[in-house]
Structure 1
Amino acid sequence: MSNSPAWLRLWRTAVRLSSDCRGLAAVEFVMIVPLMLTMFFGMVEFSSGVAVNRKVTLVARTLSDLTSQSTAVADSDLTNFFTASVGIFTPYSASPTRATITELYVDPTSHQAKVQWSKASTFNSSGNVVLGASTHSPGDIITIPAALKVDGTYLIWSEVSYTYVPAVGYVMAKAGITLSDQTYTRPRQSSCVMYNTTACTTL
């Protein structure tokens, strides 16, 4: 049994502990892992969000482009346009998508853009596109960029919104982030794109 004073034994023990590096790497690992995982999942979710946002823009452009290439459309045509457009979201789910196609007429008297017709799309329980009522009614006045206000002309206006819900909720908003975009295109084959009419109308 050592006859050294208690304080000396404690001092020697403290010295030995201060020079003992065993387990140091494990302690550092435990401290760094949470930060590294947060950064990793944050980058993955942010990259996915950017990719989805780009697809939202492409869907908006595709919707207005397909519609503007027609001279007349029926519900079946619009359903096909919506179905073809949301396919762009692959491999992401298209079900959070809400899209609307609207035709506008720039009134030469009031110099305002008025809704001629508008149709929206939703998804049923089977994941298929279903046409529905739009929030825009015929005759509604819509604010458009000044450069597009050409009196007596028509515009195809597409709106797309997508609720992006991150897989890892603690990195980004748990409820999701709404991404949206819109596009204006002029009819290409005729002065207007008719819907349920035999001639261009002006409301």
Structure 2
Amino acid sequence: MSRSCARWRGARAMLAEERAFAAVEFALMLPLILVMYLGLAELALGQRASQKLDLVAHTLSDLAAQQLTGGSNSGQAGMDEKTIQAIFSAATTLMAPLPTTNLKMTISEVVIAADATQTSGYKASVSWTIAQNSGTLRPCKIGGAARLNAADVAPVDPNSMPTSYTSAKSVTLANAGGGSTTTSVTPTIGAIIVADVVYTYQPSFSRTITWLKRSAPTMSRTSYSPVRNTYSPNHVQYYMTSGTNCTPGTP
């Protein structure tokens, strides 16, 4: 009987030890599991914020470029302060439920025109620019000249326009009967609405951790939309009370 009791006590002791081992293993693995889980969740939330920012930039440029009325002449487009603020407001709601206090937005009209002084034969210059929530205005002049730099840079660079808008491009097309043809495609002359958006994204799980807030990543987007109206020139006239009109005295 005593031997049976001893064996039972030994089995119970071994079982208790196995449970202790499992508890220790779980305690060691839990921090890693939590880090992986929170990291994946944060990655998904960050990707969602990035997608929303794409939508905000496109919406800003597209809504502004769709203006067909409001100009000084029949068929001419123009925007007043009420209209531009409505566009900013509509785009801001697309970020919900994310906070928008760090959402900086700028809408500008950039005109592509022929310019014999440029190597490419074309230039991009700002007609007007308006910002919301401390966004960066695009400059009317750079180095004393009314034109933006022609450069292919990562968005957002308020001082530049991509070379696809400011210089001719060689395009190779396949022929139906075989072979190919190389042709030069010139930039489209006219007005383009450019939306610049910068957003400081604060990771959701670190908003209560002070030292992480200093390393919040910044997301930047630029969207381009050609002005839709058919009036010649297809310009959106400036009747706003904020922002900058680069051609004072004219709408």
Instruction: Say yes or no: TM over 0.5.
Output: yes
State how far apart, in whole Å, the 2-side matches of 1:133 and 1:25 are.
55
1:26 corresponds to: 23
Does the CA-based 8 Å contact 1:117-1:137 persist in structure 2?
A: no
2:162 corresponds to: 145
For 1:51-70, list aligned pairs within 5 A.
51-70=48-67
Identical pairs, percent: 28
Q: CA deviation at 1:151?
A: 5.8
Does the CA-based 8 Å contact 1:103-1:154 persist in structure 2?
A: yes
Secondary structure of the 1:135 match is coil
State how far apart, in whole Å, the 2-side matches of 1:42 and 1:89 are.
22
Amino acid at match of 2:78: A
1:195 corresponds to: 238
Residues 142-171 of structure 1, C-alpha deviation per residue, up to 9 Å, x if partnerless? 43223323364111000111111113338x
> Residues 137, 196 of structure 1: CA spacing in aligned structure 2 closer, same or farther, 3 A cutoff?
farther
Amino acid at match of 2:197: V
2:84 corresponds to: 78
Under a length normalisation based on structure 2, what TM-score does the superposition of the two structures give?
0.63
Does the CA-based 8 Å contact 2:123-2:147 persist in structure 1?
A: no
For 1:1-203, list aligned pairs within 5 A.
20-70=17-67, 71-109=77-115, 110=118, 111-122=122-133, 134-138=136-140, 139-143=146-150, 144-149=161-166, 150=187, 152-169=189-206, 174-175=213-214, 176-190=216-230, 191-196=234-239
State how far apart, in whole Å, the 2-side matches of 1:142 and 1:118 are.
16
Does the CA-based 8 Å contact 2:105-2:196 persist in structure 1?
A: yes
Residues 66-112 of structure 1, C-alpha deviation per residue, up to 9 Å, x if partnerless? 00011111121111100000110111112210010011011311411
Report the aligned-residue RMSD.
2.7
Structure 1 gap segments, 5+ residues each: 1-15, 123-131
State how far apart, in whole Å, the 2-side matches of 1:140 and 1:82 are.
26
Does the CA-based 8 Å contact 1:155-1:186 persist in structure 2?
A: yes
Does the CA-based 8 Å contact 2:192-2:225 persist in structure 1?
A: yes
State how far apart, in whole Å, the 2-side matches of 1:48 and 1:20 are.
42
Under a length normalisation based on structure 1, what TM-score does the superposition of the two structures give?
0.76
Q: Which segment drifts farther, 40-49 or 140-149? A: 140-149
Size of the aligned set, in residue pairs, is: 174
State how far apart, in whole Å, the 2-side matches of 1:108 and 1:186 are.
17
Residues 40-91 of structure 1, C-alpha deviation per residue, up to 9 Å, x if partnerless? 1111111100000000000000000000011111121111100000110111
